[in-house]
Amino acid sequence: MRNTAKITTAVLAAGALTLGLSACGSDKDSASDTSGPLIVAASPTPHAEILDFVKKNLAKKAGLDLEVKEVTDYVTPNTATEDGSVGANYFQNQPYLDDFNKKKGTHIVPVVTVHLEPLGLYSHKVKKADDLKSGATVAIPNDTVNEARALKLLDANGIITLKSGVGNEATPGDITKNPKNLKFKELEAAQTPRSLDDVDAAVVNGNYAISSGLKPAKDAVVLESPKDNPYGNFLAVKKGNEKDPRVKKLAKLLTSPEVKKFIEDKYAGSVIPSF
């Protein structure tokens, strides 16, 4: 599978979750009624955890009524934000959003970047990338942007070589050198950590690594560098809602010293503040 339109399990989950989100959002009124609570769709880890910290410790003093809705796929948060079932979402990076808007015809825009979750290569079978055997199987995310990101991680660490100038749509077909003759198994991003017993290694998104009990800063065979990294995760809304006073309050709280300390203390380098 090559893009989000083909993710069967995620689409099924998205349908069910969207129904729940719509019910909570009073039939698309959550985004338009700025006097009500701001409902934010977020991945459970670390996004919802960060939002819960804001809700419990900072929101009341700032006069923000915040409601957090956990969503486990990468489709529902944007579609729910587009149709008004929620007022905002927090789960994605700019390359993913650009690809999603282009393919789905949505109008989601970033508000403020909060953190980076370094992508990592993990294995239950080897401790070093050099120890991967010839013909080893490596699981990678199957959505366009995260697949390219995974391949770039392997390229940056000398495991493969991608053709020069390849962008955010790189596929295994863009590999020019593959010294270990690695085979790639394309899976839904959420499935990659679960595949570790069945493959030789897997490239796993930071949020799924953490929620699966992996510690990126400690357990990754190789880990993405935060330097000049374009994959910071941000708060996002439907275009036109950037000036919603509730959104502006949340953006300020998410980039506060208190949230920075919370991220640093709780995730110990596996999630990195971007502000």
pLDDT digits (tens, 9 = 90+) for 187-209: 999 999 999 999 999 999 998 99
Question: Quick check: 29 and 86 in contact, CB under 8 A?
Answer: no
pLDDT tens figures, 27-43: 444 455 677 999 999 99
**Helix/strand/coil for 134:** coil
More confident: 165 or 14? 165
pLDDT tens figures, 131-157: 999 999 999 999 998 999 999 999 999
pLDDT higher than 70, residue 271: yes
Q: What are the distances in angstroms from CA 15 to CA 11, 21, 49, 103? A: 6, 10, 24, 18
Predicted confidence band of residue 168 (pLDDT cuts 50, 70, 90): confident
Residues 6+ apart with CB under 8 A from 207: 43, 44, 45, 46, 47, 91, 117
pLDDT tens figures, 42-88: 999 999 999 999 999 999 999 999 999 999 999 999 999 999 999 99
Share the mean pLDDT of the chain: 89
In this prediction, residue 31 carries a pLDDT of 55
**Whole-model pTM over 0.85:** no
In this prediction, residue 73 carries a pLDDT of 92
Residues 6+ apart with CB under 8 A from 60: none
Predicted confidence band of residue 173 (pLDDT cuts 50, 70, 90): very high
In this prediction, residue 64 carries a pLDDT of 98
In this prediction, residue 27 carries a pLDDT of 43
Phi-psi region at 186: left, alpha or beta (left = phi > 0; alpha = psi -120 to 50): beta
In this prediction, residue 20 carries a pLDDT of 46
Predicted confidence band of residue 26 (pLDDT cuts 50, 70, 90): very low
pLDDT higher than 50, residue 4: no
In this prediction, residue 33 carries a pLDDT of 65
Count the Cβ atoms, other than its own, within 10 Å of residue 146: 26
Rounded to whole angstroms, the Cα distance separating 201 from 183 reads: 10
pLDDT tens figures, 221-264: 999 988 888 899 999 999 999 999 999 999 999 999 999 999 99
Torsion of CA 85, 88, 90, 93, to 10 degrees: 110
Rounded to whole angstroms, the Cα distance separating 263 from 254 reads: 10
pLDDT higher than 90, residue 19: no
Rounded to whole angstroms, the Cα distance separating 17 from 77 reads: 9
pLDDT tens figures, 82-92: 999 999 999 99
Which domains, ranges and CATH numbers included, belong to the chain? 4-118+230-273 (3.40.190.10), 120-223 (3.40.190.10)
